[in-house]
Structure 1
Amino acid sequence: MQITDRDIEILLWINRMRFVTAKQVSKKFKIGIKSAYRVLKRLCDDRFLYHSRSYMFEPGVYLCTKRGKRISGSTLWVPERPSEYLDKALYKHTLAVVDLSIELEKLGGWISERELRKGHKFNEMVPDGVLVKDNKKVAIEVELTLKSNKRLDKKIEYYKGCIDYYEVWYFVESEAIFEAVKKRVYNLLFVKIYYLKEAKGTDFTFSLCLNQKSE
């Protein structure tokens, strides 16, 4: 068994994110997709990672095992049964947050939801992630489905009373979700709303920097 510094980085990152795809590993660590598959297969063969393909037409994902957690030095827990992590709604949402985090890390540091939850009560409200930009924390929310006004208001009230975050950025999947969030935050200048598809554009983070500087 031979484990490299990059292997450790990959294991730590995967456990921070909860689970990831090979394509996301390729993008995050700037390695070719074939190389990513080879590294991930080796880590699976050595029982540092667990691979699951639970949903038809969806990419398989990689999760850290207890063995992987130990060798990487991660302080975040891993599930006894990886299937606990692979609820369909959680699956899509987690991968969307991972994709977004890779883009937003071009602007600053990233604190994952799993890291935010460490030391908090299970039902305590936290963002989907936090971007640390210019020594300020920006709470990140990803909305793939239309939530009730009650649920949106509960989250907004949390941010209105929270002094930890300089701004809150919502990334939404559809126009309907955009309008629903917009109605709830229309008078809150610290809340910004973006479409998730914008984040996939090559100039997104550059234009985001310009917009932030001009405000």
Structure 2
Amino acid sequence: MKLTDRDIEILRFINDCGYCVTPHLTNFLSVKRARTYQLMRRLVQRKFVIKEHLLQGHPALYYLTSKGANFTDLPPIEYVSLGTYRHQIIMINVALKLMRVHPEAIWISERHLKHDKCYDGIGKRGHVADGLLLFPDNRQIAIEVELSVKGRQRIEGIIKSYASQFDIKEVWYFCSQSAYNALSGLAAKKTYIKLFPIKEFLA
């Protein structure tokens, strides 16, 4: 099977994310769901992609085989973590919306940031952003998705550490309501920190 440019685009998108679900691909490709199934069926049958029903009542998810990953810049994922599943699904929704709102910018996924080592880990645990927007004027905007309230000390450390990352002009936090409330006080005097209610952003 000879892969088309669109096939390779699909493989790269999936592997940039690590894995994704059917609605993500429909959104990314701007096609109807039936067409998404048709495109993915070919890639699954040819063993470029693995299709898995991980959770009952949730859409099928897709990730690459080693064969499929050969057409991308990243290795395939080793497994799908249930612990980060919700965060992953919402993070991809945020990324797709950001790519649509800022078509002039390049989206760099967390997987690329880690793999390419083009982004210095910040914080005591080597924190890496959930993603990065790179604009034509070389502005870099770090993207964070916060769905739960983390320890105050850890969040303070991450926020303060961003101040020393001179390549990062701003940090955009997309938050659940509880996380938004928790971060508001910490970010109030940090002009480089922007908070967005995730529910409103994705509406």
TM-score by length of 2: 0.89
Q: Please, which of 75, 78, 83 is the counterpart of residue 76 of structure 2?
A: 78
Aligned length: 194
Q: Which residue of 2 aligns with 1:168?
A: 171
Q: Deviations over 1:32-89 (max 9, x none)?
A: 110001111211111000112212222221001100011x2x121113x4xx2x2223
Q: Which amino acid aligns with 1:118?
A: H
The one-letter amino acid of 1:38's match is Q
Between the aligned partners of 2:173 and 2:94, the Cα distance in structure 1 is 11
Give the aligned partner of residue 88 of structure 1. Answer: 82
User: Which residue of 2 is the match for residue 117 of structure 1?
Assistant: 114
Q: 1:185 aligns with which of 179, 187, 190?
A: 187
Greater shift, 118-127 or 8-17, is seen at 118-127
CA–CA distance in structure 2, aligned partners of residues 7 and 91 of structure 1: 25
Match of 2:96 in 1: 102
Residues 58 and 151 of structure 1, relative CA distance in 2, 3 Å threshold? farther
Q: Hey, what's the Cα distance between the residues in 1 that align with 2:35 and 2:48?
A: 17
Higher mean displacement: 100-109 or 7-16: 100-109
Query: Percent identity over the alignment?
Result: 27
1:144 is displaced (CA, Å) by 1.1
Gaps of 5+ in 1: 202-215
- How far apart are residue 124 of structure 1 and its match? 2.8
Runs of 4+ in 1 over 4 A off after TM superposition: none
Name the residue aligned to 1:205.
none
Gaps of 5+ in 2: none
Q: Shift of the alpha carbon at 1:97?
A: 1.2
CA distance in 2 between partners of 1:145 and 1:88 (Å): 16
Deviation sequence 1:152-179 (CA, Å, 0-9, x none): 11211221221121100000022x2111
**Aligned partner of 2:202: which letter?**
K
Q: Which amino acid aligns with 1:2?
A: K
Name the CA distance, whole Å, in 1 between partners of 2:97 and 2:49.
Answer: 24
What's the TM-score, normalizing by structure 1? 0.84
Q: Aligned AA for 2:128?
A: V
Output aligned runs, 1:6-155, within 5 Å.
6-70=6-70, 72=71, 74-79=72-77, 81=78, 84=79, 86-106=80-100, 107=102, 108-120=105-117, 124-135=126-137, 136-155=139-158
Q: What's the C-alpha RMSD, in Å, of the aligned pairs? A: 1.7
Report deviation, 1:92: 1.1
